[in-house]
Amino acid sequence: MPSTSAVDPAGTSRQWHYLDNESDVAATGMDPVGTLLCVHGNPTWSYLWRTLLAEATSPETLAAGGPWRVIAVDQLDMGFSERTDTFRRLEDRINDLSDFTDALALSGPVVSVGHDWGGLISLGWATRHREQLAAVVLTNTAVHPAGFSLPPALKLALHPAVHKWGTTTSTAFLRITHGLGQPSLAEDVRDAFMAPYKTVARRAGVGNFVADIPFATDHPSRPTLDAVSDDIRTLGVPALMFWGPKDPVFSDRYLRDLLTRLPQADVHRFEGASHLVQEDRDIATPTFAWLTQKVLSQDVPSDAANETTATGYTSMLAELDSRRSDTSTAVVDMLPDGHGTRTLSWSQLSRDVDDLAAGLRELGVTSGKRVSLLVPPGINLTTLIYACLRLGAIIVVADAGLGTAGMSRAIKGAGPDYLIGIERALAGARLYNWPGVRIAAEDFTPSSAAAKKALFDVAATVPQLMANGRVVRLAGTATVFTPPAPDADAAVLFTSGSTGPAKGVVYTNRRLSAMRDALKATYKLEAGTALVAGFAPFALLGPALGATTVTPDMDVTAPRTLTAKALADAAAAIDATVVFASPAALVNVVATAAELTPAQQKALSDVGLILSAGAPLALPLLEQVQQLAPNAALHTPYGMTEALPVTDIDLPGIRAAGVGNGVCVGTPVSGATVMIAPVAADGTVIPKPTTEAGVTGEILIRAPHVKERYDRLWITQEQSTSIPGWHRSGDVGHLDTEGRLWVEGRMAHILTMSDGVTTPVAAEQAVERVPAVARAAVVGVGPAGTQAAVAIVETTPAVKRSGLAPMPLATAVREAARTVGLQLSAVLVIDAMPTDVRHNSKIDRAKLSQWAGRMLAGKKAGQP
């Protein structure tokens, strides 16, 4: 193919090796709907894209719209293309690719696809072929390293002493790259990646490629790099990014940089995957699904699950704004160990919020910036939250309940621009290298302030920002805040992570407001309500509800630390009428009720409503709570991070529902609709929603307060909305004749036995009625469709050694399960169930099932 690149003399022709599925496309008898132009990086070759070539003409792709032509090049000096004995720079390589597509006379829409430094080259091609460009797909790449320090791995590779040896003389660079597979690459795949680079001569391009990384500003390739990274801002085509966050070189920071340049991009971060993301995960299937949606189909899919237009919109700040001169109490913190309270009136709170907002804005926190808040619930957090809402900044709330590792993954995934935390959180940020400009939530003690500011690399403290903001506001400059757009992102919350890594869940201002409205309408929470905020997600809604809010003295990272006294004291401080609490907290409240003084008992008896949110609460425990608060209506809403609340039931309702298959969680809350997608015998979901009583299936939710989307998890988001108009909850259950919802567990926990689909909850409840059993989980082992049912029980007292249950216990458990029609194959005892950190109540049945499978196959079982 003729070369027009500057590095080659005029008239030069170059030999290219490339993969092309043209004959596969022809065999389908259909015209291709477009072309994928795939560009590998260093040191791989077109082999990297083999899954795209295969999927491009699969029956699913054909059914979705037609075949795609896929052309994957080996860049010159790379793969099996010509060794040119030239040093080809970025400009040459982009031009080479254009020469290549000219020679092929590519017509029709083209999607550029790139990986590693091939991403930059493919984007360079894209900026120069705008008329043909239909979309861009990027995988672990970067366009601009400016402002970033070079990752150590690359720094070493670039070092003159190492560079030639590492990249060319030896196969070290190749082997290091191939070693990045998560899980490890199969031997034949490693061999294939190595095949074109067997000799020193064949590896020259590998070394030159590394040497051409324009890290320094005076590098010859720098102008081209700058041009490409600026020009992509105006591409105006759909963009898709698949990312392996474990990549030691093209880390999340480059993803964040790319997102500022291509803000329209859909992103999926594959937690646990690394640099060779196309080896670690299936990217081919979702790539074509995305292309079908974004390139082939012109109409935007309607997302009726959210019913945004159905309701009016009142800003989260409306109550605060209307009470600027209200001197009555807005927020109260109960200080530790009975040291009294800290109180702000509505006027003080609204002033602090505005001051802090102004201060944050001075620092650069503006609309659309992400701010991670690592501050315990209370006045400080409340002020921060509403200041961010004021600015249109997006709050990222990764709570300590995720555990340190889980929190770290969550923060890195959300990629905040700013990170505001208490000292412990700042220490974590430094230790785990969390992204974001760091802000201390409190002033440091004067003696250590300078040292700690340096140690934690802190740009400011919240009190400083508030003071700055006050000055700015008093000076009269920039006191006006533009209200954020209703449909702009407002918050990223996280799932508990009991079913895999915690997922970020994005709420817009409108959806947060709808959550507030659902609570308000369902529980008749009028302005002037006085509420005890013992459950974090709802606590942030207090000022938006116009409710006086008190935060009890407790360690919020451990709900079980809420005592009856602390709860009563908090209630007394504001004459509380409403209590929000988590089940774990209420367990401890009941356990410590004996310590209450008559005055404290009185404070609780004045409470009119108690909400226990998070996980279902056993009836006996609710009865005990009722004794403590005899005048309170006890409600247990059902919901999830993606939709909160969904249904509600009160204590009389629970008594009336009685025992059934699952946990009765009542009827939908104001604005919410629930339907069931039936489960087939093999465990798959039939996408035909029904309200027919007694049909078991996946619980579908529609409400104005359903999440906007999952954060940087495009595939997960697509799956959750694959039944048009609904959020698929991943929970399984059924509706009864009175329209009540019964939750039977997680979809992932259903047992597919040869006589049909079974959900575990009813059997678990039956087994838990056996006297020696403290907690039970029923799981399936073996292949789907023919699983064997196994009960795993925790006993009182706990066993020391996990294994087969002794015969009398096994017999009793079997008989109990039989009462709900389940035949158990085996009964195992375990010392302690694996549970999630946040609630300490969600049993990880997936882990248990694998453990039971090993146990019952006679293998070394280890820990679940």
Partner 1 sequence: MSDAVQRRVLVTGTSGLLGRAVAQLLHDRGFFVRTLQRRAVESPWESVQGSVVDPDVTARAVAGMDAVVHLAAKVSFTGAWEDFVTTNIVGTRQLLTAAQHEGLRDFVFVSSPSVAHFGSSIVGAPAGTANPALARGSYARSKAAAEEIALAEDSPEFRVTAIRPHVVWGPGDTQLVERVVERARAGRLPLLDGGRALIDTTYVDNAAEAIVRGLERMDYAHGQALVVTNGEPRPVGELIAGICAAAGVQAPGYSVPGWLARGAGSLIEKAWLAAGSRGWVHDEPPMTRFLAEQLSTAHWFDQRYTQAVLDWTPAVSLDEGLALLAQYYRR
Residues forming contacts to partner 1 in the complex (CB under 8 A) are 754, 781-783, 785-788, 803-804, 807, 810, 823, 825-826, 853, 855-859, 861
Closest CB 514 distance from partner 1, rounded Å: 46
Q: How far is it, in rounded angstroms, from Cα 718 to Cα 699?
A: 16
Closest CB 772 distance from partner 1, rounded Å: 17
Closest CB 522 distance from partner 1, rounded Å: 45
Of 580 and 851, the one with the shorter C-beta distance to partner 1 is 851
Q: How far is it, in rounded angstroms, from Cα 684 to Cα 677?
A: 10
Closest CB 847 distance from partner 1, rounded Å: 18
Of 660 and 683, the one with the shorter C-beta distance to partner 1 is 683
Closest CB 760 distance from partner 1, rounded Å: 18
Of 98 and 850, the one with the shorter C-beta distance to partner 1 is 850
**Which pairs count as long-range contacts for 801-808, CB under 8 Å and 24+ apart, including other chains?**
801/831, 802/828, 802/829, 802/830, 802/831, 802/855, 802/861, 803/828, 803/829, 803/855, 804/828, 804/829, 805/829
Closest CB 695 distance from partner 1, rounded Å: 23
Of 722 and 786, the one with the shorter C-beta distance to partner 1 is 786
Closest CB 615 distance from partner 1, rounded Å: 31
Which residues make Cβ contacts (< 8 Å) with residue 552, sequence separation at least 6?
334, 532, 533, 534, 562, 566, 567, 569, 570
Of 583 and 853, the one with the shorter C-beta distance to partner 1 is 853
Kindly write down the DSSP assignment for every residue of 209-243, as one continuous string: HHHT---STT-TTHHHHHHHHHHGGG--S-EEEEE
Q: How far is it, in rounded angstroms, from Cα 584 to Cα 590?
A: 10
Closest CB 680 distance from partner 1, rounded Å: 14
Of 548 and 752, the one with the shorter C-beta distance to partner 1 is 752
Closest CB 778 distance from partner 1, rounded Å: 15
Closest CB 787 distance from partner 1, rounded Å: 7
Q: How far is it, in rounded angstroms, from Cα 18 to Cα 25?
A: 16
Of 161 and 807, the one with the shorter C-beta distance to partner 1 is 807
Q: How far is it, in rounded angstroms, from Cα 35 to Cα 101?
A: 11
Of 570 and 826, the one with the shorter C-beta distance to partner 1 is 826
Of 63 and 807, the one with the shorter C-beta distance to partner 1 is 807
Which amino acid is present at 238?
P
Which residue has 């477009």 as its token pair?
A: 34
Closest CB 755 distance from partner 1, rounded Å: 9
How far CA 171 is from CA of 177, 249, 581, in Å, comes to 10, 18, 59
Contact 704, 310 (CB under 8 A): yes
Of 632 and 788, the one with the shorter C-beta distance to partner 1 is 788
Which residues make Cβ contacts (< 8 Å) with residue 274, sequence separation at least 6?
180, 181, 182, 244, 246, 247, 248, 280
Of 658 and 858, the one with the shorter C-beta distance to partner 1 is 858
Contact 297, 289 (CB under 8 A): no
State the first-to-last Cα distance of the chain, in angstroms, to the nearest integer.
Answer: 58
856's enclosing H/E stretch is: helix 845-856
Of 57 and 787, the one with the shorter C-beta distance to partner 1 is 787
Closest CB 381 distance from partner 1, rounded Å: 49
Judged on CB neighbours under 10 Å (0-12, 13-18, 19+), 375 is buried
Which DSSP symbol is given to 75? P
Strands 329-334 and 266-269, by their bridges, are: unpaired
Which DSSP symbol is given to 660? B
The overall longest dimension of the chain from CA atoms, in Å, is 98
Cis amide prior to 183 (ω within 30 degrees) = yes
